[in-house]
Chains A and B, each alone.
Chain A
Amino acid sequence: MALTGAPRIVTSRIGYEDSYTLERFLATGGYDGLRKALSMSPEEVSAEVNTASLLGRGGAGFPAGRKWSMLRAAPTTYLVVNGDESEPATFKDHLLLERDPHQLIEGVMIAAYAIGAAQVFIFIRGEMALGIERVTQALNEAYEYGAVGRNVLGSSFSVDVVVHPGAGAYICGEETALLESLEGKRGFPRIKPPYFPAAIGLYGEPTVVNNVETMSNLPWIVLNGGAAFAALGSGSSTGTRLFALSGRVNNPGVFELEMAKTTFKDLIFDKSLGNGIIDGKALKAFIPGGVSAPWFSPDQVDMHLDQDEVGKAGSMLGSGSVVVMDETTCALRAAWRITKFFWRESCGQCTPCREGSGWLEKTLWRIENGEGREEELDMLMDVCDNLAPGLTWPPQQTTICVLGPSIPSSIASAIRMFRDELLVHVKEGRCPFA
């Protein structure tokens, strides 16, 4: 932890070589949070999470406590953990899954107790083979230790947890697609409304879907109190948060930082964090919250890692991944690669997303290779406007899920911020960076 005196909440153990073992976990306060939660009533646990004002860490930033309170009353309620983490340049859950699987299980058990879940499913991205192994192993140990299953830690509370492997599809991170996949089907996002699985979720039952990092915060919140969590950060951005920094920096990695107290400049340039740009080059642009997010320019680096501040500036903190581009980066090529990703990952249900992504990708590729025309930049903007009318952020939705309307972010950013550079491709008939 750097820069502020905030404690490490979700990464307190990762310095240990054996951080993923039950032994290390128990030696460092593991399952004490669950023990404490079980001595409280479920309502009291939810109240602490509400006080903490814990915002979901999966991308949308919705308050976890509020989501839980929206559950439709029903005999069977499910808790599903979203460990699909496939947003390009996002790799924080990867760390938590491999390095502290028991912390996740403890958080999951606390949430299951608070909402009275009948069963819990931890959905883990299929590419994360080691993460799946570690969580499966930890779950076996947790059952044996008595922290999961029947009469948890000697209490009258019982719940089962199942680890469910994904099979390689970005769209399964979208919560309704994830539920379809968990039901053994193709990962097609469901038509809204209902807007929240809390009304109709897994097998049609009320379901809470929360991110891995969101869950991993719960043991600390229960042990230290929601107020202690809310005392960190500022405004609605409370606690600490994991930021995944990548791209043209000297020291890419995952950093746990106090929300709203640190700036993008700190993250990118501080010696203990990103440690500046490779070869001392100049910053060109950065993506503040995953490739779905509109880009920021160097004059915005003083902005805080604060959900509201970034939102007001027309982008989002999203999944907490910051990608740095420097003066050697071709903005057009970056936008093309991101668009290619969306094209490959579009589930194909909605025409604007399915057809638009392919057209955009091909056009960007032609311009990148010097075969474009100037008026095509305006055509690109026009197609983007069809996908997300008005090109605002958050986008106007034209499709079943928000993947489609996210496609324009990088394209519109590149055209608005670097129009002249894109035109050099057209005029010179080649990429000036190649």
Chain B
Amino acid sequence: MTHLSEEMIAYARQLVSLYPEPRSALIPICHLAQEQDGWLRPEAIEEIAAVVGVSPAEVFGTASFYDLLHTEPAGRYVVSICTNIACMLAGAYDLLDHAEKNLGIKAGGTTPDGLFTLEDAECIAGCDNAPCLQVNGRYFGKLTRAEFDKLVEDLRAGELAEQVPPHGTLCRVRRSVGLTARDGGGDARLGTSDEPERPSSTSGGGTAGGVAGSERGGATGGGTAGTSQPARRRRRGKK
């Protein structure tokens, strides 16, 4: 039994086949794993490492650099309020104060029921709708305090399920084809594969068709040439 579902692992292998080197699929696969769990569980990290051919520490070390990859559990709804320049000029800090009061947590915190995580975010490229925020990556703009309260109420009541997918779901559309340019070229296979046989067709099922079988096997070892990175603690996210 794997922790990540079998179809997820199959799709992860197909993502690997899209790149000249397997390690390139590391971040896309982390996003995929978050679709299942909302964050990167240690079990998931182990399986991702196996699929891309690096150590779990390398996956963790890479993931911890990025804001969107959670190495700790986050609430079901991650509410990221932008407080950068354009939003600040439109009252974003008032909105953040209000949000902290409404949810009873400080920015960076998660409500005890696990429903909401609140973030003091950087610009999310929605500055024409300032002040704006994202919930699980989906935009809401020009928010007044009352509208924020209504948003929270609707999220609690599950009324925005259509608009706001579960936390961790980045892209609801699956790639439907593998690499085709070199089909029949005979040399599309890069490196040798010592990984288990990849399923030859998609097992995604339903509407989310996976990548169709491509010619490439998952090469291993591509990630080992990585630079040695300075041991340093990230400052991101600190207030």
Residues in A lying within 8 Å of B, measured CB to CB: 85-91, 93-94, 119, 125-130, 132-133, 136-137, 139-140, 143-144, 149-150, 158-160, 162-170, 180-188, 203, 244-248, 252-254, 291, 321, 323, 325, 329, 333-334, 337-338, 341, 343-346, 348-349, 354, 358
Residue-by-residue, is B212-239 near A (CB-CB < 8 Å gives 1, otherwise 0)? 0000000000010011011010111110
- For A341, the chain B residues whose CB sits under 8 A away are 84-85, 122-123
Q: Are A184 and B125 in contact (CB under 8 A)?
A: no
A150/B66 contact (C-beta < 8 A), A88-B86, A119-B20, A184-B23 known:
no
Q: Are B85 and A344 in contact (CB under 8 A)?
A: no
Q: Are B127 and A91 in contact (CB under 8 A)?
A: yes
Q: How far is the CB of B108 from chain A (nearest CB, A)?
A: 12
**Stretch from B5-13, B149-157, B173-181, B191-199 at the A interface:** B173-181
Interface centre among B66, B127, B136, B172 (most CB of A within 10 A): B127
Q: Can you offer 30 A-B residue contacts whose CB atoms are under 8 A?
A: A89-B84, A90-B123, A91-B128, A127-B134, A129-B137, A132-B171, A136-B173, A140-B173, A150-B182, A150-B183, A158-B180, A162-B19, A163-B175, A165-B31, A165-B170, A165-B171, A166-B27, A167-B66, A168-B68, A181-B27, A183-B23, A184-B25, A185-B226, A247-B89, A252-B127, A337-B85, A344-B122, A344-B235, A344-B237, A358-B235
- For B173, the chain A residues whose CB sits under 8 A away are 133, 136-137, 140
- For A291, the chain B residues whose CB sits under 8 A away are 85
Picked from B27, B66, B126, B176, the residue with its CB within 8 Å of the CB of A91 is: B126
Interface centre among B52, B66, B237 (most CB of A within 10 A): B66
Q: Are B69 and A167 in contact (CB under 8 A)?
A: yes
Q: Are A187 and B88 in contact (CB under 8 A)?
A: no
B44 interface contact, C-beta 8 A: no
Q: In the bound complex, what is the Cα–Cα distance between A162 and B128 (angstroms)?
A: 29
Q: In the bound complex, what is the Cα–Cα distance between A348 and B27 (angstroms)?
A: 20
A127/B124 contact (C-beta < 8 A), A88-B84, A133-B171, A163-B175 known:
yes
Q: Are B65 and A187 in contact (CB under 8 A)?
A: yes
Q: Are B86 and A89 in contact (CB under 8 A)?
A: yes
Picked from B19, B69, B130, B238, the residue with its CB within 8 Å of the CB of A252 is: B130
Interface centre among B125, B171, B174 (most CB of A within 10 A): B125
B21 interface contact, C-beta 8 A: yes
Residue of B nearest to A124 (CB): B171
Q: In the bound complex, what is the Cα–Cα distance between A94 and B82 (angstroms)?
A: 16
Majority SS at the chain A contact face: mixed
Q: How far is the CB of A279 from chain B (nearest CB, A)?
A: 13
Interface residues of B in 97-156 (CB under 8 A from A): 122-128, 130, 134, 136-139
Q: How far is the CB of A74 from chain B (nearest CB, A)?
A: 13
Q: In the bound complex, what is the Cα–Cα distance between A354 and B223 (angstroms)?
A: 27
Q: Are B62 and A90 in contact (CB under 8 A)?
A: no
Picked from A160, A180, A334, the residue with its CB within 8 Å of the CB of B180 is: A160
Q: Are A128 and B31 in contact (CB under 8 A)?
A: no
B42 interface contact, C-beta 8 A: no
Q: Are A247 and B86 in contact (CB under 8 A)?
A: yes
Picked from A119, A140, A186, A248, the residue with its CB within 8 Å of the CB of B89 is: A248
Q: Are B125 and A94 in contact (CB under 8 A)?
A: yes
Q: How far is the CB of A182 from chain B (nearest CB, A)?
A: 6
Q: Are B126 and A183 in contact (CB under 8 A)?
A: no
Q: In the bound complex, what is the Cα–Cα distance between A89 and B28 (angstroms)?
A: 26
- For B237, the chain A residues whose CB sits under 8 A away are 344
Q: In the bound complex, what is the Cα–Cα distance between A137 and B175 (angstroms)?
A: 8
B26 interface contact, C-beta 8 A: yes
- For A186, the chain B residues whose CB sits under 8 A away are 61-62, 65, 229
- For A185, the chain B residues whose CB sits under 8 A away are 23, 62, 226-227, 229
Q: How far is the CB of B32 from chain A (nearest CB, A)?
A: 10
- For B31, the chain A residues whose CB sits under 8 A away are 126, 165, 167
- For B21, the chain A residues whose CB sits under 8 A away are 183-184, 203
- For B170, the chain A residues whose CB sits under 8 A away are 126, 129, 132, 165
Q: How far is the CB of B53 from chain A (nearest CB, A)?
A: 10
A89/B177 contact (C-beta < 8 A), A162-B19, A185-B227, A203-B21 known:
no
Q: How far is the CB of B47 from chain A (nearest CB, A)?
A: 15
- For B230, the chain A residues whose CB sits under 8 A away are 348-349
Q: How far is the CB of B16 from chain A (nearest CB, A)?
A: 10
Residue-by-residue, is B158-193 near A (CB-CB < 8 Å gives 1, otherwise 0)? 000000000000111111110111110000000000
